[in-house]
Amino acid sequence: MAVIPPTAAPAAPAAPGAGGLDPQAAAANAANAKRAAAIAAQSRKGGKSGMVLISSLGLFAMLAIGLGSPSLLVFMIIALAPTVAAILTDKDPEKHAAIAVGAMTLGAMIPLVLGQFTAKPSSGYNVLRDPFAWLSVYAAAGIGWGIHAAVPAISVFLSDMRADWRRKDLVKLQDDLADEWGQEVIGKKKTASEPEKKK
Amino acid sequence: MAADGQTADQGKGAKCAKGPIVLESRYVLHPDQPATEHSTSQTQAFVAEDPMSPGEPRVALICDIDPLPRIEVMDKLRGLARPGLTQIAAFGPVDWPGASGQRLAVVIHPAQGGRLVQPGQAKIQPIGTEALIETVIRPIVTGLTEMFHRNQTHRGIRPDNIFYSDETHTRVVLGQSVTAPAGYYQPPAFETIECAMADPDGKGTGTRAEDLFSLGVCLLALSTGKIPGVGVDPEELIARRIEKGSLEAYVDPREIPRDLIDGIRGLMSEDPRERWSLESFKSWQEGNRVPPPRPYTMVRAHAGLDFAGKKWWTAPAAAMALSRRPDAGVKALLSGSVLDWMKKSLPDNVPTDALASVMAEYEVSGGSWPEQLLLAKASIAMDPGAPIRYSGISVRLDGIGAALACGWRKPGGMQLIGDLLKANLPSYWLNSQPKHINRGVGVTAHLEKLGRWVSDSGPGAGMERCLYELNPNLPCQSPITAGRWVSDPSELLPAIDASAAAGGLSRQPIDRHIAAFLAARSHADTTQLLGLMQPQNVDEHSAIGTLRLLAELQTSFKSRALPGLGMYCAELLKPVIDSFHHRRRRGKLAEAIQAMAKSGNLTNLLKLADDPDFKKLDRRGFDKAKELWAKAETDLANLERDTPKRKDDARRQGRESAAMISSGLAVLTVGVMFLVKWL
């Protein structure tokens, strides 16, 4: 989602002595700022409502499952604790951390919940007492955290690398131009001592 | 013949060595054998030989520019072999030993019988009428006829310049008169009053009438045995001539043989309109009756003007006396004594009114004129026919050029002529002449131009321009030509080239002399030369302009290759080369210009340096490069400025990607579990 900076480019200041900002420009600034704030708020609101919708659906599913098996409900509530923690700690309005952790937790939890459902009552299998189940869901949550932490760093690293390449390309282009056309190309006056380069 | 160290196209020049010098690959000049009989005070003569005419004597006269030789007359008379005239065999510049720079050598066929009269003699044995007519008059008239036929004047007819053509003394020839300005060596007594009042170098070419007057005085001297003017104060003699007329001032007319008196009187008339022409004289000689000139009259004052310890009885004589003593003359004028004398004692109102008008103008101007200008104008008012007299110099209108050329090397000489021209005295003199004098539209226009040039300090103007305009045969006086006798623009470029090749050119290849010389002789646009005259200020435009002018001169004069000048121009073209932006192209251009400069073809050099397509290509490329550089600079700045935002975006994208990856992994895990469980 595109983020519009809260402060749009200010209009050019009025001429000195005109008594501060031009009223028209000030009005335009205010309007821009309001619009930007509204869009940002809408964005935050949209993210929250999606999150609420997903959380509601999850909660509904959990209740539905929990009505059949209270131990599963307890399992799910405890297993989703990292996700809840992510929701609470993630300041990102789109709650990417919660999505990453939650998705991974769900990915590990769903087979376990289904295993409990499909297990024969005689088997006496209880997911609450299965250390592998706990290990799976928390490991999955950890992986989710790991992905959430690593991928943005990798993304920034790649972006920096691309920017560096671009900078080097531009500097090289400028050097080549200066070599070919002399220092006048950058607006400097040519000096008599400027060496003639032969390529 | 090319000389040692000389260039091939200085073919007119002659070989310089300690031994004989060869002129025009033919005449052998012997600097170690003077021919004193033919020397003058300013021109040395030396023995010469013509190998194509062995045994026939030749004499070489060696001229500098002071006094200025009459090259235009030499041109017309060269090779002309006629009775009564000294034949000019050849002339041209030579490297004369001991002289700084080239000299003009004139090879003549010398007369063999010696001078008719030795210089300085006051009395001679009178020549009988018959002998005079046969021996002297007839050949001289024949010679003058030839000269006049070629529109030339001799201006050197005097007894000591008449030679017996052979040892039998049966014929005479007129000596040469081409090694100095017209009338330069003429004693005042042998000149008309107007010419006698002028300085030797300012007498002007004159007309046939001046030659005929001189012939009349010669006949008078030879027939009476008395050389007029010898041992007499020239000023006093002129005053007497003005008062009485020359003939009466020189001798008692009764002393002149009766058979000659009419002819001499006809030739010695003071009024050029009354003076006999050569045709009239020849007609009289043949026995026909020719109307005699009207008797000479001059208005004499009732009382003389007391000035400089003498009494002056006529306005022209008084004007001469005043102008020959400039300081005292000005005082006399300003005191009003001269005007008072004219009003009270002179019956002729014309000069009186003219002087009164000049004095009134001076008073109206509040005395703002220089005093010498007042004296000059007053002299013209008192005697309009006299030469222009200013600050002690006295020149006729057609003698200004020669006076300027001779005065150039004298301290203050140039300045005086310059002041005279700046004051527009020639035009004033011309406008003061009687109505019958042809003022000539062309002359007036030319005088106006001289006035403009003398006040213009730009290249191709100034006194230098006047010098070359007034002396069409004067060689270029620039020190850059290293003393070479450069009288034609076509010889100038090779001379500069030779100087450049010899390292004689410092930073300034063209000076005011060369600019004026080119402007006068080739009508070139010398504003282009400014670059070369002020080399420290040469920019690409003036460098190209200069090269264009030089290339045009090279083409129009079909000059040979000029590598010395080419290399100099290559140096001058550095700003042009530097104006190209593309470095590699600039380097190649510099190499090509160097190569072309060495070839000496200035036209091709110009084409190379002034190629508009090449310039356009470079300019377009440079503009594009500047645009690209600026865009790159903007992109770099944007990159720097947007770094936080870019990182935020990358981080956000990373988080989104992390969410998607996690979701994908979860779906994948669930899917795999289902597959494992149920399949």
pLDDT digits (tens, 9 = 90+) for B295-304: 988 889 999 9
Mean pLDDT of chain A: 74
Answer yes or no: is pLDDT of B573 > 70. Answer: yes
Residue B673 lies in a domain: no
The CA distance from B339 to B281, in Å, is 42
Q: Which residues of A touch B669 (CB under 8 A)?
A: 107-108, 111, 140
Q: Of B469, B503, B524, which residue sits at a domain end?
A: B469
Beta-sheet strands, E only, within B25-136: 27-34, 44-49, 58-63, 88-94, 103-108
Residue B3, pLDDT above cutoff 70: no
Q: Which two tokens stand for residue B346?
A: 């002179």
Q: Is B331 part of any domain?
A: yes
Kindly list the residues from chain A whose CB atom is less than 8 angstroms away from the CB atom of residue B627. Answer: none
Domain boundary among B556, B591, B613: B613
Q: Could you tell me if residue B596 is inside a domain?
A: yes
Give the mean pLDDT of B489-512: 76
Structural domains in chain B (count): 4
Query: Over 80: is that where the pLDDT of A33 sits?
Result: no
Look at residue B20 and tell me whether its pLDDT is greater than 60.
yes
Q: What is the DSSP letter of B136?
A: I
The one-letter amino acid code at A191 reads T
- In terms of domains, do B274 and B326 share one? no
Position B547 pLDDT exceeds 90? no
Taking an 8 Å cut-off on Cβ atoms, the answer to whether B649 and A114 are in contact is no
Comparing alpha-carbon positions, the chain A residue that sits nearest to B673 is A111
Based on the fold, state whether residues B147 and B270 are members of the same structural domain.
yes
Residue B182 tokens read as: 């017209």
Same structural domain for residues B193 and B219? Answer: yes
pTM here is 0.70
Q: Is the dihedral of CA B160, B166, B168, B172 positive or negative?
A: negative
Residue B577 has pLDDT above 60, yes or no: yes
Q: Do B352 and B487 lie in a common domain? A: no
CA distance B386 to B432: 11
CB spacing of A147 vs B658 below 8 angstroms: yes
Q: Do B186 and B267 reside in the same domain of the chain?
A: yes
Nearest by Cα to B253 from B226, B280, B286, B272: B226
Ordered DSSP codes for A11-59 = PPPPPTTS-SS-HHHHHHHHHHHHHHHHHHHHHHHHHHHHHHHHHHHHH
DSSP-assigned letter for residue B280? H
Compute how many other C-beta atoms are within 10 angstroms of the C-beta atom of residue B311.
15
Is pLDDT above 60 for B7? no
Beta strand B27-34 pairing with B21-23: antiparallel
The residue type of A48 is K
CB atoms within 10 A of CB A69: 16
Q: Is the Cβ pair B586, A196 closer than 8 Å?
A: yes
Q: Is residue B504 part of a domain?
A: yes
Judgement on whether residues B143 and B272 belong to the same structural domain of the protein: yes
Answer yes or no: is pLDDT of B120 > 80. Answer: yes
Structural domain including B83 reads 21-108
Q: Do B665 and A152 touch (CB under 8 A)?
A: no
* Whether residue B200 sits in one domain with residue B83: no
Select the residue from A101, A105, A132, A155 to test the B interface by mutation, using most B Cβ atoms within 10 A. Answer: A155
**pLDDT tier for residue B493 given thresholds of 50, 70 and 90:** confident
A154 close to B (CB below 8 A): yes
- The stretch B85-105 carries a mean pLDDT of 91
* Contact state of A107 with B639 under an 8 Å Cβ cutoff: no
With a CB cutoff of 8 Å and minimum separation 6, the contacts of B541 are none
B396 and B462: one domain? yes
pLDDT higher for A196 or B663?
B663
Contact yes or no for B662 and A101 at CB 8 A: yes
Chain A residues inside the 8 Å CB shell of B653:
152, 155
* A19 Cα to chain B: minimum distance (Å): 31
Indicate which CATH number applies to the domain containing B220. Answer: 1.10.510.10
Q: What pLDDT is attached to residue B495? A: 85
Flag whether B323 is in a domain. Answer: yes
Closest residue by Cα to residue B69 from B100, B97, B91: B91
As a whole number of Å, the end-to-end CA separation of chain A is 50
Q: Are B506 and B586 within one domain? A: yes
For Cα atoms B298, B300, B302, give the angle at the middle one, nearest 5 degrees. 165
Lowest mean pLDDT of B182-191, B455-464, B467-476, name the range.
Answer: B455-464
How many angstroms separate the Cα of B673 from the Cα of each of A118, A141, B443, B469?
13, 17, 123, 115
Q: Are residues B133 and B275 in the same domain?
A: yes
Any CB–CB contact under 8 A between B666 and chain A?
yes
Instruction: Identify each DSSP E strand in B140-232 by its residue range.
Output: 162-164, 172-174
Alpha-carbon distance B480 to nearest alpha carbon in chain A (angstroms): 29
Backbone angles phi, psi at B62, to 5 degrees: -105, 115
Contact list in B for residue A153 (CB cut-off 8 A) is: 654
Query: What ipTM was assigned to the predicted interfaces of this complex?
Result: 0.71
Specify the pLDDT at position A28: 55
Give residue B572's pLDDT. Answer: 82
Question: How many other C-beta atoms lie within 10 A of the C-beta of residue B227?
Answer: 26
> Is residue B291 domain-resident?
no
The CATH number of the domain where B95 resides is what? Answer: 3.30.200.20
A4 to chain B: nearest residue by CA? B645
Same domain for B165 and B233: yes
- Which stretch of B94-98, B240-244, B519-523, B529-533 has the lowest confidence by average pLDDT? B529-533
Same domain, B135 and B262: yes
Report the alpha-carbon distance of residue B215 to residue B284 in Å, rounded.
15
Average pLDDT on A129-145 reads 92
